[in-house]
Every structure is written in C-alpha cells, then in structure tokens.
C-alpha cells in the first residue's frame, strides 16, 4: 500500500511507479525540557500523519528518541548511534526496489573539526555513519531531512543519485537551535504548503514553505536570521537555498505526501485516475526541467495544457471518491 506518498522517477525511457513508503524519525539529545517537548511533538506529528494520511505500514515506521518510555504508542526505540544503524540495516534488508525511504533527524547538531554530527545519547551520529547505513539502499529513493543545528555539513557527505538531502543550516557554523524542522513538519501535515492545490505536498513544496516561514518568523521577532536551509537532489554535493538553481529541485518535486488518505483505491476507475494524475505530474516536472531548452511561448502553452488536464483529472478523482469539489 502506498497511500498518498509516492515518487515518480523520470528516466530516458519510462516513468516508474512508486514503491512502498518507509519513515524513520530520530530525535536526539534535548538538553532542556523545552526542547524535549518540542522534539517529541514534531516526531509524534510525523508518525501520526504517516499513519493516517500517507498509508505507511506499522512495520515501516521507526521512531527513535532519547526517552522511548515517554511515548510508547509512537516511539519504537532509543536514539543511539547503534540503534539508528540497526534500524536502517533491518529496513534495507526488506525494502523493495523503488521504495521511498524518508529519514528525518530532529535535535541539536555540532561539527567537530570537519565532522558534522547529530547529538545522541552515547556516541553521536556522524554524517559518515549515516552515509554508510544509507549505502545499503541501492534501489530506493532516499529523502533525508536533517533539521538539527549545524547540519549543513551532511549535504556533501550524503549526496548521491536518487537522494534528496535537506539540512536546516548551510554550514556547521550555524549552531543556534533551528525553526526549520517545526515549519517543515507543519508544511507536511497541513494544506499550507500545497502550492498547486493537488491535495499532496511534495518535498519541494514543504521545503520552500518551511524556508519562507522561517524567514517570516525571524522578521516578526526582529531577529537576525541565523539558519539558512539548503537542498540537494541532483547528486552534486552542493546544496542550494532556492530551488531551481543549479538543477536542484527536480527530484524533490516528484516525491509527494498526501494530505488525506486515499479512498476508493479498490475501485478500478479511481486507480486509473490516480495513475493518470501521477503521470501528468511527472510530465509537468519533466517539462519544467526542459524549460531553458524551449522557447517561452511553447513552454507556457505546453505547461498550461498539462495544468488544465491535471485540474480536470483531480476534479474527476474527487468525484469518483465521493468528495466535494
């Protein structure tokens, strides 16, 4: 069951259907009660939306924290380096080809010399530790969101094909506690980040929404912006702040998270409409990637046609599922 979380990979010859989704949430050392409560809220929200909106199977949900006894209904183990490595190894052993593996790190980070890391009970989890574990996922699409402070150094270490790597900061020198994780989770869990109003939030939409809301929060509080989120999904090891620069953002636009759980998926008509919608979204992503090679009038005409078909398909899907327009 893939629910509403899916990825469409655009290759030279074909569009591959999405595989099963998996979610791994790791909340690290809090240090203070306020951070413990905040980290737990974010982690719990992610698990809840994965269960109720994305259709993630219980066996594919991993939530590791510094105190798993605090929420036994959601937390599955302690957030140690060994715990993270073991959980990812077990997941890699059973994940299918083209599955989508989402790893979200929440907490405080640091950088010792040139080594970026997430602060955990016991030995910290370094970017290299995580890279080694993720190396076992050879046929899956990986989404890593490191919402911790000083997380920027994870990008060059984790970057690679079929990987979306997001960090809350652009370097290890941005050490203050971050707001990015809160805004990113809010974007995934609500319709606020759904820019194209297709009832799903792509990684690109959630990222852009979170960056925008972080800036707004700092401006409202009249504070100097001390965190600059970045994203890399073209495998060059260089994160960008704004999507579209240097080719980043293409893959992030194809991985989407549902705002409501799909209904009527046992109905052939609904399944056909879902497939049509995903195909149109893939065509739109491919067209946008070729924008620089097309004349502006031709690009706008093709985009308008695809967007109109997408809107018509979405309306038909809502009707087939018995939902109001």
- State if pTM tops 0.75: yes
DSSP characters over 236-272: SS--BSSTTGGGTTTTTTTEEEESS----TTSHHHHH
**Phi/psi at 300 (5° precision):** -65, -40
Q: Which residue has the higher pLDDT, 107 or 300?
A: 107
Rounded Cα distance, 224 and 40, in Å: 27
Residue 245 banded pLDDT, cuts 50, 70, 90 = low
DSSP characters over 221-239: TT-------EEE-SSSS--
The answer to whether residue 10 scores a pLDDT higher than 50 is no
Residue 281 banded pLDDT, cuts 50, 70, 90 = confident
Q: Residues 156, 238: contact at Cβ < 8 Å?
A: yes
Of the candidates 170, 176, 162, the one whose C-alpha atom is nearest the C-alpha of residue 221 is 176
Residue 268 C-alpha from the chain's centroid? 29
The answer to whether residue 90 scores a pLDDT higher than 80 is yes
Of 40-54, 67-81, 156-170, 255-269, the poorest mean pLDDT is in 255-269
The answer to whether residue 283 scores a pLDDT higher than 90 is no
Q: Residues 110, 119: contact at Cβ < 8 Å?
A: yes
pLDDT for position 12: 25
Of 36-40, 100-104, 154-158, 300-304, the poorest mean pLDDT is in 300-304
Give 21's DSSP letter.
E
Helices (H), 95-240: 127-134, 154-158, 180-189, 203-220
Rounded Cα distance, 126 and 116, in Å: 6
User: How many Cα neighbours within 13 Å face the side chain of 65?
Assistant: 24
Q: What Rg value do the Cα atoms of the chain yield, rounded?
A: 19
pLDDT for position 3: 41
Residue-wise pLDDT tens digits, 140-176? 999 999 999 999 999 999 999 999 999 999 999 999 9
* Element containing residue 62 per DSSP (H, E): strand 61-65
* Element containing residue 315 per DSSP (H, E): helix 296-320
**What does the mean pLDDT of the chain come to?**
88
């Amino acid at each position: 069951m893939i629910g509403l979380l899916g990825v469409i990979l655009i290759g030279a010859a074909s569009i591959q259907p999405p595989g099963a989704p998996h979610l791994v949430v790791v909340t690290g050392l809090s240090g203070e009660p306020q951070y413990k409560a905040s980290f737990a809220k974010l982690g719990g929200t992610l698990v809840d939306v994965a269960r109720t909106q994305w259709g993630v199977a219980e066996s594919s949900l991993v939530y590791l924290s510094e105190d798993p006894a605090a929420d036994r209904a959601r937390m599955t183990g302690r957030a140690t380096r060994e715990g993270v490595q073991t959980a990812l190894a077990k997941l890699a052993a059973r994940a299918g080809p083209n599955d989508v593996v989402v790893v979200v790190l929440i907490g405080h980070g640091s950088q010792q010399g040139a080594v970026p890391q997430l602060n955990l009970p016991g030995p910290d989890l370094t970017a290299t530790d995580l890279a080694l574990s993720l190396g076992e996922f050879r046929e899956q699409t990986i989404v890593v969101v490191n919402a911790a402070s000083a997380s920027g150094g994870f990008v060059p270490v984790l970057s690679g094909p079929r990987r979306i790597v997001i960090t809350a900061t652009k370097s290890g020198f941005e050490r203050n506690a971050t707001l990015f994780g809160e805004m990113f989770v809010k974007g995934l869990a609500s319709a606020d980040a759904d820019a194209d109003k297709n009832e799903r939030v792509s990684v690109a939409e959630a990222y852009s929404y979170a960056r925008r809301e972080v800036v707004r929060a700092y401006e409202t509080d009249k504070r100097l912006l001390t965190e600059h989120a970045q994203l890399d999904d073209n495998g060059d090891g260089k994160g960008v702040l704004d999507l579209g620069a240097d080719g980043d953002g293409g893959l992030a636009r194809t991985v989407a998270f549902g705002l409501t759980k799909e209904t009527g998926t046992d109905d052939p008509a609904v399944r056909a409409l879902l497939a049509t919608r995903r195909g149109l979204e893939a065509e739109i992503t491919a067209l946008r990637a070729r924008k620089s090679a097309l004349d502006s009038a031709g690009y706008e005409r093709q985009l308008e046609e695809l967007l109109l078909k997408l809107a018509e398909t979405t309306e038909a899907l809502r009707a087939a599922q018995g939902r109001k327009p």
